[in-house]
Each structure stands twice: as C-alpha cells, then as structure tokens.
C-alpha cells in the first residue's frame, strides 16, 4: 500500500469543498477511507485545519466533529526536536515546508501531495498534486 503525506492545503480543499481542487482531494480522502492508500499528515496540519474550519462550519457540524472523522482515516506525525533540527539546517526556503517534508520522511512516506510543489524543490521523494496522485494506478 502506498503511504502518502498530505499537506494541509489538499485536506482543506476536500473539507471546505474548494473548487477547482475539491474533486481530486475528495477522491484521495475516499482512497484513504477505503484503505487503498495509507495517509499521513503532521500535527501542524491538524492545527491549521482546525483554524480554517472554525471560520466556516460545514453542514451544521462543528470543526472538531469533522476533524475526528478525518483522524479515522489519516495518521498524525508528531513534530519532534529531530524534525525541527533537520528543518532548520535544510535548504528549503520555507520553514513550514521543511517541517512537513521531514515529517513525511520520518515515517517513510513514498510521496508528498500538495498544491505547492514548487516549494518542495529540494525534496528527495516525489511531490505530486492531487490530480497526479489520482492518475496513478494503485
């Protein structure tokens, strides 16, 4: 099973139904739910998701209910001192991107799925957008 790291932008595209990126992002969540893919994100992403969901309550559900459902299908990577140290010494120009990258590497993710692939130019693992991931055969 392919293990993937999902950046918060892709998760928010699905949860907030943000067109034109929502269809592929929702399809990825379905693949995670059906256990076709093994999904990871960072603890930072869950904090970001909570913030943005709090600005827009969906379908009458609170943001914590939505996050609890998401948590059933995606594992959270804790950001530890080692990840911070690697990120501080990295060649990435964006610190948050570096943290996400080293979080993904820490659990052996096979790719990172994001809408901001240009930020990951120093990545040593594949970086895909949601559409590219969906177009892969599993």
Contacts 24+ apart (CB under 8 A), 46-51: 46/71, 46/76, 48/8, 48/12, 49/8, 49/11, 49/12, 49/15
Domains in the chain, number: 1
Range(s) of the domain holding residue 19:
2-135
Q: Per-residue pLDDT tens for 50-104?
A: 888 877 755 456 778 888 999 999 999 999 999 999 999 999 999 999 999 999 9
Render pLDDT for 8-45 as a digit per residue (tens, 0 to 9).
Answer: 999 999 999 999 999 999 999 999 999 999 999 999 99
pLDDT at 62: 76
């Amino acid at each position: 099973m392919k293990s993937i790291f999902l950046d918060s932008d892709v998760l928010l595209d699905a949860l907030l139904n943000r067109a034109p990126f929502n269809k592929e992002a929702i399809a990825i969540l379905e693949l995670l739910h059906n256990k076709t893919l093994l999904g990871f994100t960072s603890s930072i992403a869950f904090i970001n998701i909570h913030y943005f969901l709090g600005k827009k309550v969906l379908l009458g559900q609170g943001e914590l209910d939505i996050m609890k459902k998401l948590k059933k299908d995606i594992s959270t990577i804790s950001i530890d001192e080692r990840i911070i140290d690697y990120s501080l010494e990295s060649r990435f120009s964006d610190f948050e991107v570096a943290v996400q990258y080293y979080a993904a590497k820490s659990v052996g993710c096979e790719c990172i799925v994001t809408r901001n692939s240009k930020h990951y130019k120093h990545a040593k693992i594949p970086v895909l957008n949601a559409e590219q991931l969906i177009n892969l055969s599993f």
